[in-house]
Amino acid sequence: LRQPNLQLADGHTMPQLGFGVYKLADQATMNTAIAAAYQAGYRLFDTAQAYQNEAELGTAFKQLALPRTELFITTKIAEVNQGYDNTLRSVELSLKRLQIEQLDLLLIHWPIHSQFFATWRALERLKAEKIVRSIGVSNYHQTHLDYLATKANEQPVVNQIENHPYLSQEPLLAYNRKQHIVSQAWSPLGRGAVLQDPTLIKIALKHQRSVAQIILRWHLQRGLAVIPKSQNPQRINENATIFDFKLDADDMTAIARLNRYQRTGDDPEVVYQIE
């Protein structure tokens, strides 16, 4: 069941496959999903303060008696909790809700201009105090990364960004790589719409795999980390069964051509402009 790990620039490693828990709300649904995910081999679990389900995720880990040392837990600072003191306080509460002593990865959920450096300084302090092992960002474009680098002591080791065949973001991926930042794809399945794409259906038939598996495999072969979400145990398992086949160069080229700059979420460049 062991999944591959990616090397982070700070010396730690991170599972390439993770399980996103956005919109998993009640305890029973959470428990079923987490049990299925752990059974399928997922070890990274991605939540956020804004998802309002850190407590349910923490309770699921406890009730299922999953060993903490086997888990890689990510949360993200909500927009309302940005700023130096707010970030420190909010992380204390996140740890309580998750019932853990330390986070494996803490991300700033979105770049917000007025609290930009204060929030990052708090993350640097939390890392120095070993309250979090690794620190990173989410929804940062090159402009945001460059701006952060002007004052940061530590560079982010992960940038979690929207990524799927309709929004492949190759230039940003290349920039992350150049900065030794691991790219982690959110909405790796484009929240469903991409699953009907005729080109992907053709490739899926060729490999006798589902379209979701083809898309996730495409991410892996580009070196990205992925955090697909489902609450259906059969799909949770399907989305983890992606380490036993390979896409060929023709498949990779065909999928690359599907890019159409189509987002499921906000455009960070538009919402958070660096002057």
Q: Kindly list the catalytic residues.
A: 51
Q: Smallest distance from the beta carbon of 88 to ligand NAD, in angstroms?
A: 21
Closer to ligand NAD by Cβ: residue 150 or 234: 234
Q: Smallest distance from the beta carbon of 100 to ligand NAD, in angstroms?
A: 17
Q: Smallest distance from the beta carbon of 194 to ligand NAD, in angstroms?
A: 8
Closer to ligand NAD by Cβ: residue 126 or 242: 242
Inter-residue contact 138 to 51 (CB < 8 Å): no
**C-alpha closest to that of 15 among 227, 244, 233, 235:** 227
Closer to ligand NAD by Cβ: residue 22 or 116: 22
Q: Smallest distance from the beta carbon of 54 to ligand NAD, in angstroms?
A: 12
Distance of alpha carbon 132 from alpha carbon 128, whole angstroms: 8
* Burial classification of residue 207, based on how many CB atoms lie within 10 Å of its CB (0-12 exposed, 13-18 middle, 19 or more buried): middle
Q: Smallest distance from the beta carbon of 91 to ligand NAD, in angstroms?
A: 17
Site residues, ligand NAD (CB under 6 A)? 20-22, 46, 109, 138-139, 160, 186-192, 195, 210, 212, 227-230, 235, 238-239, 265
Closer to ligand NAD by Cβ: residue 81 or 139: 139
Q: How far is CA 206 from CA 193, 202, 252, in A?
A: 21, 6, 13
Closer to ligand NAD by Cβ: residue 128 or 223: 223
Q: Smallest distance from the beta carbon of 227 to ligand NAD, in angstroms?
A: 5
Closer to ligand NAD by Cβ: residue 59 or 139: 139
